[in-house]
């Protein structure tokens, strides 16, 4: 939207059939990653206004968390992007869009996460958990 004129400059149903966009995160390279319908990871090139990657992750990782805002994406200070799913904590490579499961905690993440001092914090019901993020390879 143009803030001065209050006119919408661009709008489009980026992915046909999607009911809900759950979370979005931007990269320094101008890519917008998102989760749609708790299952579909997509990468949107903001300059070209085009979806450049789509992948249904439900079979490998279960559904994305959906409570607490939902904060599915958890960025780290070094630019890495982690994601919370029923099956665990995954990392998405912003350059290739590859998603790798990094941790399978004993209790599945249910709520969104937060990064602090090298750990990702998340909750399962009334319990608070944390996972130590390993160094980047």
* Domain ranges within the chain, ordered by starting residue: 21-132
Please give the DSSP secondary-structure letter assigned to residue 117. T
Q: What backbone phi and psi angles, to 5 degrees, belong to 45?
A: -80, 110
Please give the DSSP secondary-structure letter assigned to residue 30. S
Instruction: Give pairs for 16-21: CB < 8 Å, separation 24+.
Output: none
Task: Look at domain 21-132 and name its CATH class.
Answer: mainly beta
pLDDT for 69 beyond 70: no
pLDDT for 125 beyond 90: no
Question: What pTM does this model have?
Answer: 0.88
Q: What pLDDT sits at residue 67?
A: 67
Q: Which is it for the CA torsion 95, 99, 103, 108, positive or negative?
A: positive
Q: What pLDDT sits at residue 137?
A: 79
d(CA 137, CA 125): 32
d(CA 135, CA 98): 18
């Amino acid at each position: 939207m143009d803030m001065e004129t209050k006119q919408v400059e661009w709008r489009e149903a980026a992915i046909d059939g999607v009911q809900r966009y759950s979370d979005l995160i931007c990269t320094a390279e101008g890519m917008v990653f998102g989760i749609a319908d708790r299952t579909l990871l997509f990468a949107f090139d903001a300059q070209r206004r085009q979806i450049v990657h789509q992948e249904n992750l439900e079979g490998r990782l279960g559904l994305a968390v959906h409570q607490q805002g939902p904060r599915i994406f958890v960025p780290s200070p070094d630019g890495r992007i982690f994601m919370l799913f029923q099956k665990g904590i995954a990392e998405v490579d912003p350059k290739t869009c590859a998603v790798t499961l990094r941790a399978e905690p004993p209790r599945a993440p249910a709520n969104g996460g937060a990064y602090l001092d090298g750990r990702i914090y998340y909750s399962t019901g009334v319990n608070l958990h944390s996972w130590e993020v390993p160094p980047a390879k």
